[in-house]
Amino acid sequence: MWGEIGVTVEELDARLDDDLAAESQRAELADRWEIWREEKATRRAEPPERGINYATAFEAMSRIVPDDAIIPVDVGNNTYAFGRYFEPAGQSVLMSGYLGSIGFAFPAALGAWAATQEADSRFTGCPVVSVSSDGGFGQYLSEFTTAVKYEMDLTHVLLNDDELGKISKEQRTGGWDVWQTDLVNPDFAAFAENCGGYGVRVEDSKDLDDALETAIEYEGPAVVEILTDSDPI
């Protein structure tokens, strides 16, 4: 039904009987959440081809990222995995609207940090924790020096699979050979350190919590590079 919500609700209320009752769906939603959490635990237990699987990475973020954080999310497999596995608890999530604008997350993080510096903003003082894969971060890699120059207190979580994983998946789905999606990447954590920020590379899940906590607490720009594979199960 199309209509301006205020006018439409008033019209519906005037025409409907007084004995209307809504059926709560909370119990069903709680059951569905429990089923999904059990499924996520199963997926965390599945060994990745290398490094840390997406389910494990976002489970750690769900526990550690502050509830008032602003989370810019990029485009690609990392976006789908974020939607599947991250459980928000009040955070503000920024997305590009699935417009395919790869590289969105880190520039959005710079803008989000600037918004937290405004005295009259409801986001003043909120931490900024952005998420991307290596393909997206590579689009605007040099902007990390901008974050260092202006002492931007933000954290970028980088899921590194050394390829444009979403494009590879689309090629496989279409029945084509995977072509020109592999990437030659630097050591992103070392790059962050060379720029004057903080960088940490995580290859084992046992190191993930400490890496995220240290990066978020760091007063300045930080990169948490998480080695993963290209299958966001």
Q: Is residue 140 part of a domain?
A: yes
Bridge partners for 227 per DSSP = 160
Q: Is residue 92 part of a domain?
A: yes
Q: Is residue 17 part of a domain?
A: no
Q: What is the pLDDT of residues 156-207, one digit of tens each?
A: 999 998 776 676 677 677 888 877 777 788 999 999 999 999 999 999 999 9
pLDDT higher at 164 or 33: 33
Q: Is residue 70 part of a domain?
A: yes
Sign of CA dihedral 60, 63, 69, 73: positive
pLDDT value at 233 more than 80: no
The pLDDT, as a whole number, for residue 200 is 97
Q: What is the pLDDT of residues 42-67, one digit of tens each?
A: 999 988 888 999 999 999 999 999 99
- For residue 86, give the CATH number of its domain: 3.40.50.970
Which range marks the domain in which residue 64 is found? 24-227
Q: Is residue 6 part of a domain?
A: no
What is the count of structural domains for the chain?
1
pTM of the model: 0.85
The pLDDT, as a whole number, for residue 180 is 79
Q: What is the pLDDT of residues 65-106, one digit of tens each?
A: 999 999 999 988 888 899 999 999 999 999 987 677 888 999
Q: Is residue 89 part of a domain?
A: yes
Q: Is residue 200 part of a domain?
A: yes
The pLDDT, as a whole number, for residue 61 is 97
